[in-house]
Amino acid sequence: MKRVAVLISGRGSNMRALIAAASAPGFPAKIVLVISNVVSAEGLHFAAEAGIATQVIPHKAYRSREEFDHALNGVLEAAGIEIVCLAGFMRILSDWFAKRWQGRLLNIHPSLLPLFKGVHVHEQALQAGVRVSGCTVHFVVPELDAGPIIAQTTVPVEMEDTPEILAARVLGEEHKLYPAALKMLAEGKVRLENGRAVFAR
Ligand code: GRF
């Protein structure tokens, strides 16, 4: 069983979905640590109640991105973490960190990448007038929201959608997709090789 840390900054609904999935018998990964850079992140309470170790690493306590990332790396290594899942973690990680964890660092993004990177994702989708949107789980690389794609799910975009309505529809799919992608990585069904996601047959 792979030892997994989930990094959050807020609500943590994807973190909850990962914890729920990983608690099922036979799941190849165990969520052993939840880290937040924000002390008030709601997700921390749920994780603690679920009996999972939590840690706050306030980014403001560090002089630079690299110093924060080294502290984060130290905590992950001390806990024997093998896979890191970003789940609404609102910090850009340094190139050093992304390279240090490459192939073992996942993110979920609420669009069909490579469309609509960054923030205000659902506004971007509605503005573009797409008829489908969705979510993507990808390996993290130094460039933001640009890593090799592991899995995607689509949802329809309806005429009366607001960013909030579309976000909720996408989020429902995120909660299924992220555990599925983590399972694939933990089982060795996908790996990062020469900058591409390679899938086992
Ligand atoms: C999700 O939509 C995720 O795709 C994005 O940030 C949001 C986090 O939500 N990266 P939650 O904290 O998991 O509820």
pLDDT at position 174 is: 98
Task: Determine the distance separating the centroid of ligand 1 and the alpha carbon of 135, expressed in angstroms.
Answer: 10
pTM of the model as a whole: 0.97
Residues 46-105 pLDDT 10s? 999 999 999 999 999 999 999 999 999 999 999 999 999 999 999 999 999 999 999 999
In testing the pocket of ligand 1, which one of 106, 116, 174, 175 has its CB within 8 Å of the most ligand atoms? Answer: 174
Q: The domain that contains 112 carries what CATH number? A: 3.40.50.170
Atom 10, ligand 1: residue with shortest CA distance? 88
Q: How many domains does the chain have?
A: 1
**Active-site residues: which are they?**
109
pLDDT at position 194 is: 95
pLDDT at position 91 is: 93
As a whole number, mean pLDDT of residues 112-141 equals: 98
* Cβ-Cβ contacts under 8 Å for 32 (sequence gap 6 or more): 3, 4, 5, 52, 53, 79, 80, 81
Q: Ligand 1, closest atom to CA 108?
A: 4
* Cβ-Cβ contacts under 8 Å for 102 (sequence gap 6 or more): 139, 140, 141, 192
Task: Determine the distance separating the centroid of ligand 1 and the alpha carbon of 189, expressed in angstroms.
Answer: 24
186 pLDDT tier (thresholds 50, 70, 90): very high
Residue 69 exposure: Cα atoms within 13 Å on the Cβ side: 15
19 pLDDT tier (thresholds 50, 70, 90): very high
20 lines ligand 1 (CB under 6 A): no
Task: Determine the distance separating the centroid of ligand 1 and the alpha carbon of 88, expressed in angstroms.
Answer: 4
Cβ contact 67:59 at 8 Å: no
138 lines ligand 1 (CB under 6 A): no
pLDDT at position 74 is: 98
**Secondary element (H or E) of residue 185:** helix 163-186
47 lines ligand 1 (CB under 6 A): no
144 lines ligand 1 (CB under 6 A): no
As a whole number, mean pLDDT of residues 9-25 equals: 98
132 pLDDT tier (thresholds 50, 70, 90): very high
CA distance 46 to 41: 10
pLDDT at position 201 is: 81
The residue range of the domain holding 136 is 2-199
Atom 14, ligand 1: residue with shortest CA distance? 13
11 lines ligand 1 (CB under 6 A): yes
Q: What is the mean pLDDT of the chain?
A: 97
